[in-house]
A and B are shown apart, each in its own frame.
Chain A
Amino acid sequence: MSRVSVENLNVWFGDGADRVDAVKNATFEVPSGASFGLVGESGSGKSTILRAIMGLVTTWSGRMTVGAFELGKKRPKDFYKDVQMVFQDPYASLHPRHSVDQVLGETLSLHGFRDIDQRIMKLLDDVGLGPAFRFRYPHQLSGGQRQRVAIARALAPEPSVILLDEPTSALDVSVQAEVLNLLADLREEHKLTYIMVSHNLAVVAHMCDATAVMQNGEIVEVMSVADMRAMKPTHPYTQHLLDSSFGYRPNAAQSA
């Protein structure tokens, strides 16, 4: 059964000469327990799709369902208990004057949990941060540690669907490996469904079963990771992305 489905989604901003059609007619389905990738051009609407699912943009049309819920203009109260998002920018998404303890504690009490103390300790442990980090502020954490706090906050309400926007692009490769292993373990343990935006095709191949490829607001192709590993795309833009993903080649810049 599909856990998340998006059908003919359109999202736009502004009007007149400044109107942007950020997402055009996007359609995809994510089965329960699967991980689905969103890759593609910078500015092609990947973050906007996640924000639309979360109810953070108001100007959209089409059909979105999460489980049995059909999403309208407003999200029902318990929606954010079921669906959480980790934002693209780990610097901007944590309040500079809130300690880790405050961030997690507030999220937990917002969702009506009682045993907050115990849960904070468990969450920190889940994301591989010890109790020593509990009373630190964002500026006292490295980029990787901050990203783990953002992931812990998303896990706090015990959601079954997590939307991840470039969860590792600010991290060095060793911390990236730790975070990806953690996400895989959590998915296994809690039967989570992920939608994951990344510009790193190797990361998507490692984490996902299938991925949508976006260009200029449109999904140009949905491909399985098996086809991606076999370098068998159907759309020329995907081919171009795959060709560019093995490092810098000066000639590739001219041929684009």
Chain B
Amino acid sequence: MRETLLDIENLRVTFPTRQGDFQAVRGVSFTLGRERLGIVGESGSGKSMTGRAILRLIRPPGRIEADRLAFHGQDLLAKSEREMQKIRGQKISMVMQDPKFSLNPVMRIGEQIMEIYRFHTGAGRSAARAKAVEMLEAVQIRDPERVMRAWPHEMSGGMGQRIMIAMMLVTEPEILIADEPTSALDVSVQTQVLSIIDRLVRERGMGLIFISHDLNLVASFCDRVLIMYAGRIVEVCEAGKLHEATHPYTRGLLGSLPRIDAPQPRLEVLRRDPAWAEAPSVSGRR
């Protein structure tokens, strides 16, 4: 039998605005097993808010509602803020979309990784230090000793992203929610970083939610994909079959990609159909 780590039914995220309530996520349902689940969809479609809602990281007055939001069968919406703090980072980690925002600008990189590791494992300083260096090496940082002593503003875009991944993986979570984790990495380093995540899924049974706008990457890296539009899921498919997707929105996204092997004078742009937003959300539960 397939083990279910997360079970989500009819998830809604709502922000009150002056013009009335705005629903960023409008009734999304899916399960996550020990698998690599991709979420794709255009800017503003609700991908990040879905990920943040799982960890209850939506700031008030924003609201999270769901018929079911269960981690190992336990209702996450019923947990106290204290209990959630234990879950965040240790059981479920999230790599945020904007690494420079998530790093503390006035703390050296090494201290930040060590602090997280010590908080969750109770390890001593020297063990934490060794672990931090090891993680930086694993994410292909060329000069880990220098980077340990460096400040966030001294890092390149892609280095910041890899440091965030190192920080989130150091506690060996059961679920990793990765929001655009490799968008600033060259394809070679990206492959290396993904192989670490891949190994955690295959060898330790970690569950992965992989939010990305890189359709080719999701097609080749994930097991299943949810395609989101205007706060709903419009299509669910096996990742390997993403290129055969049938929804006109998914086809439109695929059609707007430039290609190395086929030059085009102009790129296709998406023509949106209001009916896409009206159709009920497709379920990604199984």
* Partner-B contacts on A (CB < 8 A): 13, 17-18, 20, 39-44, 47, 88-89, 91-92, 142-144, 166, 169-178, 180-181, 184, 199-203, 205-206, 216, 228-229, 237, 240-242, 244-250, 252-254, 256
Using an 8 Å CB-CB cutoff, how does the interface string of B70-81 with A read, 1 for contact, 0 for none?
Answer: 000000000000
Using an 8 Å CB-CB cutoff, how does the interface string of B147-165 with A read, 1 for contact, 0 for none?
Answer: 0011000111111011000
Top 8 closest A-B pairs, CB basis? A42-B158, A247-B220, A253-B195, A177-B267, A206-B258, A177-B256, A248-B221, A174-B270
Q: How far is the CA of A184 from the CA of B264 in the complex (A)?
A: 12
Q: What 16 additional pairs, Cβ within 8 angstroms, besides A43-B141, A169-B183? A: A41-B186, A43-B159, A47-B156, A91-B98, A91-B100, A169-B184, A170-B180, A172-B42, A177-B256, A177-B269, A178-B269, A199-B186, A199-B190, A200-B258, A229-B261, A253-B198
Q: How far is the CB of A240 from chain B (nearest CB, A)?
A: 6
CB neighbours (8 Å) of A254 from chain B are 195
Q: How far is the CA of A255 from the CA of B164 in the complex (A)?
A: 25
CB atoms of B257 and A18 under 8 A apart: no
Q: How far is the CA of A142 from the CA of B143 in the complex (A)?
A: 35
Using an 8 Å CB-CB cutoff, how does the interface string of B167-199 with A read, 1 for contact, 0 for none?
Answer: 000000000000010011111111110110010
CB neighbours (8 Å) of B145 from chain A are 17
Interface size class of B (residues with CB under 8 A): 35 or more
Q: How far is the CA of A237 from the CA of B187 in the complex (A)?
A: 11
Which residue in B42, B158, B213, B270 is a CB contact (below 8 Å) of A43? B158
Evaluate whether A244 and B183 lie within 8 angstroms (CB atoms) in the complex, with A174-B252, A181-B267, A253-B195 already known. Answer: no
21 contacts between A and B (CB under 8 A): A13-B154, A20-B143, A42-B159, A42-B189, A43-B141, A89-B98, A89-B100, A166-B184, A171-B43, A172-B43, A173-B253, A174-B253, A176-B256, A177-B258, A177-B270, A181-B267, A202-B258, A244-B191, A245-B260, A248-B221, A256-B188
Which residue in B184, B185, B220, B257 is a CB contact (below 8 Å) of A202? B257
B41 at the interface (CB under 8 A from A): yes
Which residue in B188, B213, B215 is a CB contact (below 8 Å) of A171? B213
B84 at the interface (CB under 8 A from A): no
Using an 8 Å CB-CB cutoff, how does the interface string of B252-278 with A read, 1 for contact, 0 for none?
Answer: 110011111101101111100000000
B82 at the interface (CB under 8 A from A): no
CB neighbours (8 Å) of B44 from chain A are 142
CB neighbours (8 Å) of A169 from chain B are 183-184
CB neighbours (8 Å) of A88 from chain B are 157, 184
Residue of A nearest to B156 (CB): A43
CB atoms of B253 and A40 under 8 A apart: no
Evaluate whether A180 and B258 lie within 8 angstroms (CB atoms) in the complex, with A199-B185, A252-B191 already known. Answer: yes
CB neighbours (8 Å) of B100 from chain A are 89, 91-92
Q: How far is the CB of A183 from chain B (nearest CB, A)?
A: 11
* Partner-A contacts on B (CB < 8 A): 41-44, 98, 100-101, 141-143, 145-146, 149-150, 154-159, 161-162, 180, 183-192, 194-195, 198, 213, 215-217, 219-221, 252-253, 256-261, 263-264, 266-270
CB neighbours (8 Å) of B258 from chain A are 177, 180, 200, 202-203, 205-206
CB atoms of B267 and A18 under 8 A apart: no
Q: How far is the CA of A237 from the CA of B143 in the complex (A)?
A: 19
Q: How far is the CA of A246 from the CA of B260 in the complex (A)?
A: 9
CB atoms of B190 and A174 under 8 A apart: no
CB neighbours (8 Å) of B266 from chain A are 181, 184
Residue of A nearest to B185 (CB): A42
Residue of B nearest to A252 (CB): B191
Q: How far is the CA of A237 from the CA of B259 in the complex (A)?
A: 20
CB neighbours (8 Å) of A205 from chain B are 258-260, 263
CB neighbours (8 Å) of B149 from chain A are 18
CB neighbours (8 Å) of B183 from chain A are 169-170
Residue of A nearest to B186 (CB): A199
Which residue in B101, B157, B194 is a CB contact (below 8 Å) of A42? B157
CB atoms of B186 and A39 under 8 A apart: yes
Q: How far is the CA of A36 from the CA of B157 in the complex (A)?
A: 20
Q: How far is the CA of A170 from the CA of B211 in the complex (A)?
A: 12
Q: How far is the CB of A175 from chain B (nearest CB, A)?
A: 6
Q: How far is the CB of B108 from chain A (nearest CB, A)?
A: 11
